[in-house]
Structure 1
Amino acid sequence: MSHDASSFGPEFALIQDSVKKANAQISLYRIAFGQAASESSVSGIEIGRALNDCYGEGRIRVRQNLPTQIDRRSAKAALLGLMCLERALPRGGDIRLTFQEDRWTLHATGDIRSLSFEAITAADPADVQNSLFPIAVKAAGRTLSVTKGDRETTINF
């Protein structure tokens, strides 16, 4: 006999949603902060599903257009870049993550605070992705470019 979340009440549904989001975050963190062998790839479908589960109903809305298979090194860089943009949007906003013609574009709109990719010295440990992002882009064999506006930022690599 199986039950759906609604048969147990709203508290159980909240717990299920929290577990689903936590599992999605762990999946994304494993790619972003894990080892990335040069020959390995990851499923764009699985990354897209994890992004939907993680950002589905939060203050940050993430839209993505991903291929079915992605080089693990470039996926690592893309997720670190996404985390940088998320941290730069404390009041929420939109992030579009696309991979076209062998090029990543991360476009954020909203009230964007400063975004720096300098090495961490005495910075907040919550910003570690900002230091790791340019290293990951270089390890993926790509060149980073950032365009900043008042309410939008675009990262290409």
Structure 2
Amino acid sequence: MTNSTEFAALVGSRICHDLISPVGAIGNGLELMGMTGASNGPELELISESVENANARIRFFRIAFGAPGEGQMVGASEIRSVLSAMSKGARFQTEWTENGDVNRPVLRMVFLAILCAETALTYGGTLTVRNSAGEWVLDGRAHKIRVEPTLWEPLSVLRAPADITPAHVQFGLLPLVAQETGYKISFDSRDDQLTLRLQKLS
């Protein structure tokens, strides 16, 4: 029987699957219009940027919320491509320092953690993701870090917050996915820094 996280992942996969084709088709149409000179100017540029951003978000969400394939690995170049596209026009930049392939279920957990960190970097900044001896470390730096205790504190005990809004669904999924993949979560924050750790249980 499908559990709650698997069911949520199937829903996520279905949504991303159904959206990626029409968004991609819009992008192809805009590219053809630009090549033929049928339309140009700031309007077309704005639409093109919006389509590019939508494509990037869908690719990211497909990993973060979609169903991971058994034994599937994702290459560093693909991960960087997704994160680079996501960072365009965003208030903060994500730097991926790992060069090896990453197991898809583990990457799903890390991407959910990135979404959690994003809520603390609402004023901009940088987020560096690295792996050290089986521990994933997300290091956020900004002029101002904003951490909501009701969202963050339950992560340390692998629990979902009591009340979750659609904008914070990642805080509900991350502890469940961490449990399934055999990780524990810890974090530390200061006025200008956030460190989120995903440590493999022995």
TM-score if structure 2 supplies the norm length? 0.68
Which residue, 164, 179, 183 being the options, matches 1:123? 164
Consecutive aligned runs of 4 or more in structure 1 exceeding 4 Å deviation: none
SS of the aligned residue for 2:85 comes to helix
| Structure-2 change in CA distance of 1:18 and 1:100 (3 Å) | farther
Q: Distance in 2 between matches of 1:49 and 1:64?
A: 10
- 1:88-108 superposed Cα distances (whole Å, 9 cap, x missing partner): 222222111123443311111
> Which residue is equivalent to 1:113?
146
Which residue, 26, 42, 59 being the options, matches 2:74? 42
Q: Distance in 1 between matches of 2:187 and 2:166?
A: 23
Identity of aligned residues (%): 29
| Structure-2 change in CA distance of 1:4 and 1:148 (3 Å) | farther
Q: Distance in 2 between matches of 1:11 and 1:68?
A: 40
| Structure-2 change in CA distance of 1:4 and 1:80 (3 Å) | farther
CA contact (8 A) 1:106 1:155 kept: yes
> Which residue is equivalent to 2:47?
15
User: What amino acid does structure 1 have at the position aligned with 2:48?
Assistant: Q
**Is there any run of 5+ residues in structure 1 with no aligned partner, and where?**
none
CA contact (8 A) 1:77 1:136 kept: yes
> Which residue is equivalent to 1:97?
129
**Is there any run of 5+ residues in structure 2 with no aligned partner, and where?**
1-31
- 1:97-125 superposed Cα distances (whole Å, 9 cap, x missing partner): 12344331111122222241352433322
Larger Rg: 2
- 1:53-90 superposed Cα distances (whole Å, 9 cap, x missing partner): 11123211211113342101110011000000101222
Residue 10 of structure 1: how far off its partner (Å): 2.5
Which residue, 12, 29, 36 being the options, matches 2:61? 29
Which residue, 142, 145, 151 being the options, matches 2:183? 142
CA contact (8 A) 1:83 1:129 kept: yes
Q: Distance in 1 between matches of 2:139 and 2:36?
A: 37
Residue 140 of structure 1: how far off its partner (Å): 2.1
More strand by share: 1
| Structure-2 change in CA distance of 1:13 and 1:4 (3 Å) | farther
Residue 153 of structure 1: how far off its partner (Å): 1.0
Query: Whose relative contact order is higher, 1 or 2, with alpha carbons under 8 Å and at least 6 apart?
Result: 1
